[in-house]
Amino acid sequence: MSETLKDVTPDQIAELEKKSQAAYDVAIKNRQALVAKKPELKTAFDQSVQPQSLCGCGCQQYICGYFCFEGCGCGCGPNDETVYISTSVAAIGPQPNQGIRVKFVGQATGSGTNINVSGMYMQGTVPDAENLIGVPLSLSLSINSGSVSMTLLEGPRVLAVLVSGPWVSANGEFTGSGTGMFTQA
Read out DSSP for 20-62? HHHHHHHHHHHHHHHHHH-GGGTTTT--SPPTTSS--S--EEE
* 75-133 pLDDT per residue, tens: 566 678 899 999 988 999 888 888 889 999 999 999 887 777 888 899 998 876 556 88
Task: Note the pLDDT of residue 73.
Answer: 63
Strand pairing class (137-144; 174-184): antiparallel
Look at residue 44 and tell me if it is in a domain: no
Task: Note the pLDDT of residue 101.
Answer: 92
Look at residue 47 and tell me if it is in a domain: no
Look at residue 109 and tell me if it is in a domain: yes
CATH number where 171 lies: 2.40.128.480
Look at residue 42 and tell me if it is in a domain: no
pLDDT of 56 higher than 50: no
- Backbone angles phi and psi of 18, in degrees to 5: -65, -45
Distance CA 29, CA 35 (A): 10
More confidently predicted of 82 and 72 = 82
Q: Could you list the residue range(s) of the whole structural domain that residue 73 is in?
A: 5-32+56-184
More confidently predicted of 140 and 28 = 140
**Is residue 170 classed as helix, strand or coil in its secondary structure?**
coil
pLDDT class for 147, splitting at 50, 70, 90? confident
Look at residue 49 and tell me if it is in a domain: no
Question: What is the mean predicted confidence (pLDDT) over 139-151?
Answer: 89
Q: How many domains does the chain have?
A: 1
Look at residue 39 and tell me if it is in a domain: no
Q: Name the DSSP class of 117.
A: E
Q: Name the DSSP class of 94.
A: S
Strand pairing class (137-144; 147-154): antiparallel
Look at residue 64 and tell me if it is in a domain: yes
Distance CA 153, CA 53 (A): 11
Task: Note the pLDDT of residue 116.
Answer: 76
Look at residue 38 and tell me if it is in a domain: no
Cα angle 25, 145, 156 (rounded to 5 degrees) comes to 35
* 7-47 pLDDT per residue, tens: 888 898 889 989 988 888 888 888 888 888 888 777 777 76
